[in-house]
Amino acid sequence: MKIRRKTITYLLSLLVFGFSIGWILPASAEAEYDAQKVFEEADKKARAGENAEAARLYQGILANKPRLNRARLELAVAYFRLKELKKAREEAEKVLNDPGTPEKVKINIRNFLANIRAAGPQNQWTPYVSIGYMYDDNVNVGPGSSSFLVGGNVMTVPGIAPKSDHAITAYAGVDHQYMFSKTRKIGKRVVNVIWQSLASYYRVDYDDQGAYDLDVVTFGTGPAFTAIDGFRGQLMLQVDFIDLGHDRFATYIGLNPSITWPFNNKKTELTAELLFQDRDYHRRVDRGRDSDLITAGVSANHIFANEKWSVQGGLSLLDENSQASQYSNDGFEIYVGANRRFAKKANVYARYTYLDLDYDGRVPGFNRARNEDTDTILVGFNYKLSLGFLDKWQVTGNYQYTDTDSNIKFYSYDREQVEIALERTF
């Protein structure tokens, strides 16, 4: 949660007025306790953003000089920045209720207390919507040939060859965050605790190939935390309900913990995450595909050139255990990407992903297990609009090419998809 400009103004007012009325610590205090020196050190810590350490130093001053309201107000400010809102309010109210506090200072304190109330536990709702048009040259994600080998004989299956089509895409949802007023400590870090939830609906509606229409309804919820230095993490429980061709296809239930460490003045971030997912397939033709999936991954992101450029990369290991061994697999995925911003209105990006999978059981009719790798190239852009009724909307576009090579030719295929869309976050 960002501190509003008014809050900064009020804090500066308090600071300037405090000095103007002579709330500076007297030099005579150095005889038994050098409060002035400690105060200056605490002020340096606060200016550097080390508010937890600044609060500790202000507490030490007040332990020796309990009537020193100048230090008490600075302690209240430190607590506010740490999201310790209850403590910030208590310290500010002590100064407000002191008969010796000048009336002009009380006015600023009342404004400060109003900002504390406004920064209390909050519900933040973020709706979003997208509508687009897509061309897909391999809707059925089939092999590149309608013929395949079974028991030494060439068999032909009508309709197995790639089918191209156009589609309308739609995506809508809402994210919700509830920020708790009380902070917690993780090691030496003071973190803000958040409960986050989401609900979304995704639809791909093909013009002719209705059997491949896709509907995905997603719900998620779980705790998260953020620290001032960028250290953060989350634990998200997510459920996906998937329909294919207007029939129930699958239900995925997953638990996704992750944690991110910032480095190099927040220009570099390292993320580690896990995914535990139960996959339940509903169609009779998919018997044996029910599985448990586990993935573990690490990724890095680096920003440079005045935040105009960023590069990303990551590695994930995965293991899927299915009821039927022919669907069980393990493997790895690696990716690299780059992003370029232009004047805060436009953005272009590119990403390459390589996925390698080895299946356990033999495929019926082929008498051997699958071994395949997939290369995916994605390039795209987004541009923020500022014209008439399209103000605050953005136009996005992307091109994706997928190429899968398998030791069983029947499972090899390539696919191209092009999409353009309008989207907005409210």
**Residue-level pLDDT at 47:** 87
pLDDT exceeding 70 applies to what percent of the chain? Answer: 87
Task: Give me the helices (H) in 28-153, please.
Answer: 35-47, 51-64, 69-81, 85-96, 103-118
The residue among 126 and 191 whose pLDDT is bigger is 126
Region 32-49: what's the mean pLDDT? 84
Residue 165 pLDDT greater than 90, yes or no: yes
Q: Which of 26-30, 205-209, 265-269, 276-280 shows the lowest mean pLDDT across its residues? A: 26-30
According to the model, what pLDDT value does residue 26 have? 41
Task: Please answer whether residues 174 and 198 qualify as being in contact, where contact means their C-beta atoms are separated by less than 8 angstroms.
Answer: yes
- Residue scoring higher pLDDT (120 or 283): 283
Q: Which of 48-52, 292-296, 344-348 has the highest mean pLDDT?
A: 292-296
**Statement: the pTM of the whole predicted model exceeds 0.85:** no
Dig out the tokens for 56 from the structure.
Answer: 């500790």
Amino acid 171: pLDDT: 97
pLDDT above 80 for 373: yes
Tell which wins on pLDDT, 255 or 119: 255
pLDDT digits (tens, 9 = 90+) for 402-415: 999 999 988 899 99
- pLDDT score, position 157: 55
Which pLDDT value is given to residue 414? 93
339 in Cβ contact with 330 (< 8 Å):
no
pLDDT value, residue 144: 55
The CA distance from 191 to 230, in Å, is 10
The answer to whether 253 and 236 are in contact (CB under 8 A) is no
Q: Identify the H or E element spanning 374.
A: strand 368-384
∠ Cα 406 411 414 (to 5°) = 85
- Per the model's pLDDT, the better-predicted residue between 396 and 190 turns out to be 396
pLDDT tens by residue, 264-301: 888 999 999 999 999 999 999 889 999 999 999 999 99
> Mean pLDDT, the chain, as a whole number?
87
Higher per-residue confidence, 138 vs 25: 138
Q: Are strands 394-406 and 368-384 parallel, antiparallel or unpaired?
A: antiparallel
188: pLDDT strictly greater than 90: no
pLDDT of 14 above 50: no
Q: Which residue has the higher pLDDT, 365 or 41?
A: 41
The pLDDT of residue 136 is 96
216-267 tens-digit pLDDT? 999 999 999 988 778 999 999 999 999 999 899 999 999 999 999 999 888 9
What pLDDT does residue 273 have?
98
pLDDT at 98 over 50: yes
pLDDT in tens, 135-160: 999 998 866 555 554 544 555 555 56
